[in-house]
Structure 1
Amino acid sequence: MIGEHQYRLHATWTGDRGSGTSGYRDYDRSVSLEVDGKPLLEASADKPFRGDPAKWNPEELLLGALSECHLLSYLHACVTTGVVVVSYSDDATGTMVEDGKGGGAFTDVLLRPRVVVADESMIAAAVAAHRQAREWCFIANSVNFPVRHEPVVTAA
């Protein structure tokens, strides 16, 4: 299925404390993210940037997008090679470095998928499927930093 796909999201800043952005400490970094037909997502900046640590921040959302995209691409790769996955979890980490000028960038993401397959004979193909998943992952193909993988695959 080749084609172009459009995505829409409505973001609303909800952090006006009554004086707008009159000063750096005078406003909240709260944002609501909405997509038609889905629950509202409450977001904010990360705590070091004066955000609310109880809400999702952009850095966590990016890490989550990379982890989920790899997971979904991986499951598809396994189906195409006859590998039956019965369990999958990931402990992903990412590193962002500030540039000292008010900006910064991610420098690295590490995905640590823990996969359980139905039979021991599937382990080699299950490990190889991570390479295919990396090639298919739309999000990983859209970022300019390495997305590394340290998978562990076991049999049920």
Structure 2
Amino acid sequence: MSRLHHYRTVVTWTGNKGTGTSGYRDYSRDHELAADGREAILASSDPNFRGDPARWNSELLLVGALSQCHMLWYLHKCATAKVVVTDYVDTAEGTMTETAEGGHFTEVVLRPVVTVASPEMVETAIALHADAHKACFIAASVNFPVRHEPTVRVAG
């Protein structure tokens, strides 16, 4: 059975310095990303493209979405498999190649460090990363590889 889910966001440009886009350097890339019932995210473009380095940018949000999706599916798979995760931290990194036409991501690498409750859970905990990757909606939607370099530790 197929179910449709819809996600609505609103992006509002806040970077008009008084003359709009009268020139490439005459406007800010600042904007807000909002969704109903949520606090707005202050965003900009990557600092390499005249953006504000203190704000989120779409490239960081994409890498973050891949990391979040993987983590949520991974925790679900672990709970179902009776693998008790007590801590999870992922330091994800995306690589983008800039081209004359724009650019594209060439890969994202997720590096989750997972802590499990007992040594007998380690092997299954490592294997479940592949299952989480197959289930992740975001990873299934991108046209570049999403690799995983997990580390699994035992609590205590």
TM score, norm. by length of structure 2: 0.97
| Amino acid in the other structure paired with 2:95 | T
What corresponds to 1:86 in structure 2?
A: 86
RMSD: 0.9
Identity %: 57
User: In the aligned structure 1, how far is the partner of 2:49 from the partner of 2:130?
Assistant: 35
Distance, in Å, in 1 between the alignment partners of 2:25 and 2:68 is 34
CA distance in 2, matches of 1:131, 1:77: 10
Deviations 1:107-148 (A, max 9, x none): 010000000001111001100110100001000000000000
Structure 1 segments, 4+ long, off by >3 Å, are: none
Determine helix, strand or coil for the equivalent of 1:78: helix
Partner of 1:19: 19
> How many angstroms does 1:2 deviate by?
4.6
Give the match for residue 115 of structure 1: 114
Moved more, 104-113 or 92-101: 92-101
* AA at the equivalent of 1:21: T
Structure 2 CA distance for aligned equivalents of residues 2 and 132 of structure 1: 20
SS of alignment partner, residue 53 of structure 2: coil
1:148 maps to 147
Residue identity opposite 2:70 in structure 1 = H
Structure 2 counterpart of 1:62, one-letter code: L
Hey, what's the Cα distance between the residues in 1 that align with 2:80 and 2:4? 23
Q: TM-score, normalised by structure 1?
A: 0.97
Aligned pairs for 1:71-82 (under 5 A) are 71-82=71-82
How far does residue 154 in structure 1 lie from its aligned partner after superposition? 1.1
Following TM superposition, by how much is the alpha carbon of 1:100 offset from its aligned partner in structure 2, in angstroms?
2.2
Residue 40 of structure 2 corresponds to residue 40 of structure 1: yes
| Unmatched 5+ stretches in structure 2 | none
Q: 1:36 is aligned with what amino acid? A: D
